């Protein structure tokens, strides 16, 4: 296996914190967790939980594409973090619309708080083989 390669793109929010947007290790890409942050403005997107979920998925797709993948089509595992499980069904609607009939494996957990007090965050693993 080749050395891990950090992946960086302007298509996803950047950070001052000590982590990469993604790390490619061989044919596997690990995408860091993202909240609903617009990469152009650095601000949390306004709107309902569905719009925020769509932004998070766009951020993940940008990192996968930068690593040489096919956006969300190469994602094999997602972890969803919600601050309120009452949002679960609405997040599912937005999530399902992006992944279609063959969604990746997934875990969803409720957490007490997320950075910038956002309501949703996702991280992902993609297979690029």
pLDDT surpassing 90 at residue 33: yes
Is 37 part of the annotated catalytic residue set? no
Q: Looking at residue 17, what is its pLDDT?
A: 86
Check pLDDT > 70 for residue 1: no
Mean pLDDT of 89-111: 97
pLDDT given at position 2: 74
From the list 108, 114, 127, 128, the catalytic residue is 108
Q: Which of 7, 11, 9 is nearest to 23 (CA)?
A: 7
CATH number of 5-127: 3.30.1330.40
Give the mean pLDDT of the chain.
96
Separation of alpha carbons 71 and 97, rounded Å:
14
Average of pLDDT values for 75-87? 98
**Mean pLDDT for the stretch of residues 58-68:** 98
- Could you state, in order of their start, the residue ranges of all structural domains in the chain? 5-127
Rounded Cα distance, 46 and 31, in Å: 23
């Amino acid at each position: 296996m080749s050395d891990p390669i950090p992946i960086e793109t302007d298509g996803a929010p950047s950070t001052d914190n000590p982590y990469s947007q993604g790390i490619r290790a061989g044919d596997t890409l690990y995408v860091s967790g993202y909240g609903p942050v617009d990469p152009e403005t650095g601000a949390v997107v306004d709107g309902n939980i569905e719009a925020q979920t769509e932004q998070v998925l766009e951020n993940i797709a940008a990192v996968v594409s930068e690593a040489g993948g096919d956006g969300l089509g190469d994602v094999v595992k997602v972890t969803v973090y919600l601050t309120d499980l009452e949002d679960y069904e609405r997040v599912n609607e937005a999530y399902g619309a992006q992944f279609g009939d063959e969604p990746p494996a997934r875990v969803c957990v409720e957490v007490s708080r997320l950075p910038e007090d956002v309501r949703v965050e996702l991280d992902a693993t993609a297979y690029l083989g």
